[in-house]
A and B are shown apart, each in its own frame.
Chain A
Amino acid sequence: MAQNGEREQWGTKIGLILAVAGNAVGLGNFLRFPVQAAQNGGGAFMIPYFIFFILLGIPLMWIEWGIGRHGGTFKHGSTPGMFDVLWKNKLAKYFGALGLFISITILIYYTYIESWTLGFSLFSILGMYSHETKETMTTFLSSYQGSTTSQTFTSILPAYILMIITFFINFWVLYRGISRGIEKLAKIAMPMLFIFGVILAIRIVTLGTPDPTHPENSVLNGFAFIWNPDFSALGNPNIWLAAAGQIFFTLSVGMGTIHAYASYLKKNDDIVLSGLATSSTNEFVEVILGGSIAIPVAVAFFGLEATKEIAAGGSFNLGFVSMPIIFGSDAFPMGEIFGFMWFLLLFFAGITSSVAMGQPVVAFLEDEFGMDRKKAVGTLAIGVLIAVQFVVFFLKYGFLDEMDYWAGTFGLVVFALIETILFMWVFGADKAWKEMNNGGDIKIPFFFYYIMKYVTPVILMILMIWWFVQSALPTLMLHNVSPVNVPYIWGARVLMVIIAFILIWMVKKAWDNNHSEVK
């Protein structure tokens, strides 16, 4: 931990890269990517996917590392202070408050989802599910979540206890600090995630055809489902927007977390190579490991048509219902161990992301209010613990989904657009370019200057408008929402408004205090 008011620093460069890669690698790498690829043109999806990786993903990565390191030299570890440095305007810090809002709101529900993975890894090794059907496994999950009851779970207590354990681990890591907590976690969790991912992928690839009476249900056909290209899909703009969205989500940009991590770098530390290494690590986990596990094994066990239905049912359906059925079946030898590895892998992917979501607020309290780390982490923990109660107990009423849409989907693209405009246009593209390349172990190819200045903000604007029309408006107007859920959806909105107001008030208070101190 930092002493005498000095800001903390990363212990090693590889530790920093693993921590930022851990922030990017999440549940979506294993559950969202293969579903998106399979549903949007198979192999042909990779054409827009790689194009947007270059036009959107990598540029945003470098922009966020650049803003973060620049803000850190002014002793700001969160976006209100960073934006205030970039743009000498009273409003800048309030735009930055959005970075705090998004990270803390996602943290509130993400910690709970993360605790399910911890729970399911224990249930796997204890053999608590075996020979399950879709119906029994759905009941297993919903009773664990407290939405129904079953013979296994008669109350929400096990889920609540596991949530508290996950919560404690997260905040303990945050309390330990940058190098002794977050970096140490990344150095353990990321290699473990790789090892488990490779073992699972090899096991699944070598499964072949689990049921010889259905030779069409094979792992090879699972790969075919993801990779056989449908070039006609490329004429559909939805496919291009899906690819842009996937790149955007997978790199965890637009959340204020990368900025916070990069703020603990020195002025002349490299960010170009680190940003590239982070992005490529995430892509390795997503395309190579993520694409070789869930969907191929689902096709091998359930067949193509059933897998399409599973994929349409969403990521949770694939991860928490279909995968346990597979691991609990006789056709998957030592399924308890592989199930344990699958869910522990998801837990590692989750925890390295959730601690990153906690860091911006901790840094904000430390840097702008002068709190020590213990007090800052304690304050955040109390706030999150209060808010998470609503998510736990109102889960079945769509409380979590509402928070996820506004903070974890729409909010990200709005924030990314704001930061890109601020850095490349308000701060100035030439200064931003110099800032990003400063101390770089490699130089950013010059064509990225034009991509970052013109192409990335235009793509973000198109994405934002598209999502606003396609999903934000219907979500806002409560289309297709059951009348029973309506009060809870409004409850989620009120909670988010309260969080936003508290953060704006705190930003104002911090600047009022700091300003009067300067006087």
Chain B
Amino acid sequence: MGLTTSGIIFLALAWSIIITLTVFSFYKVFKGEKKK
């Protein structure tokens, strides 16, 4: 079977979207807390 190229693309895309969203939101949260 093996992980196909399209499988790798979907995994990488999904992980990238989620990691970006998580890092963005927590960066904003901590930045906001620091300001206060």
- Residues on A lying within 8 angstroms of B by beta carbon are 12-14, 17, 42-44, 46, 50, 216, 220-221, 223-225, 227-229, 270, 273-274, 276-277, 280-281, 283-284, 287-288, 304, 441-442
Contacts and interface: CB of A to CB of B under 8 A. Distances in A.
A17 B29 contact: yes
Contact of A225 (B1, B13, B14, B15): B1
B18 A288 contact: yes
A227 B3 contact: yes
Interface in B1-22: 1-4, 6-11, 13-15, 17-19, 21-22
Contacts of B25: 273, 276-277, 280
Interface residues of B, number: 26
A273 B28 contact: yes
11 contacts: A42-B10, A43-B9, A43-B14, A220-B2, A220-B3, A224-B4, A225-B1, A276-B21, A283-B21, A441-B28, A442-B28
Contacts of A441: 28-29, 32
Nearest to B35: A441
A43 B6 contact: yes
Contacts of A13: 29, 32-33
Contacts of B8: 227
A50 B22 contact: no
Q: Which of the listed residues B4, B6, B18 has the most CB atoms from chain A within 10 Å of its own CB?
A: B18
A280 B3 contact: no
A46 B1 contact: no
A14 B33 contact: yes
Contacts of A229: 6-7, 10
A419 to B, nearest CB: 23
The 9 closest A-B pairs by CB, nearest first: A43-B10, A277-B25, A228-B7, A280-B21, A227-B7, A280-B22, A224-B3, A227-B11, A283-B18
A281 B1 contact: no
Given A12-B33, A43-B9, A442-B28, 12 more contacts: A13-B29, A13-B33, A14-B33, A42-B7, A43-B10, A221-B2, A227-B3, A227-B10, A228-B6, A280-B24, A283-B21, A288-B18
Given A50-B17, A288-B19, A277 B29 contact: yes
A14 B1 CA distance: 43
A44 B10 contact: yes
A223 B3 contact: yes
Contacts of B29: 13-14, 17, 273-274, 277, 441
Nearest to B20: A280
A229 B17 CA distance: 17
Nearest to B2: A224
A442 B19 CA distance: 19
A281 B18 CA distance: 9
Contacts of A223: 3, 7, 11
Contacts of B21: 276, 280, 283
A157 to B, nearest CB: 43
A270 B25 CA distance: 12
B10 to A, nearest CB: 3
A43 B21 CA distance: 19
B26 A277 contact: yes
Contacts of A220: 2-3
Contacts of B13: 46
Contacts of B18: 280, 283-284, 287-288
A12 B32 CA distance: 12
Given A277-B26, A284-B22, A288-B18, A270 B10 contact: no
Nearest to B33: A13
Contacts of A12: 33
Contacts of B1: 216, 221, 224-225, 228, 304
Contacts of A228: 1, 3-4, 6-7, 10
A220 B30 CA distance: 36
B13 to A, nearest CB: 8
Contacts of B28: 273, 277, 441-442
Q: Which of the listed residues A14, A216, A280, A304 has the most CB atoms from chain B within 10 Å of its own CB?
A: A280
Contacts of A442: 28
Contacts of B22: 277, 280-281, 283-284
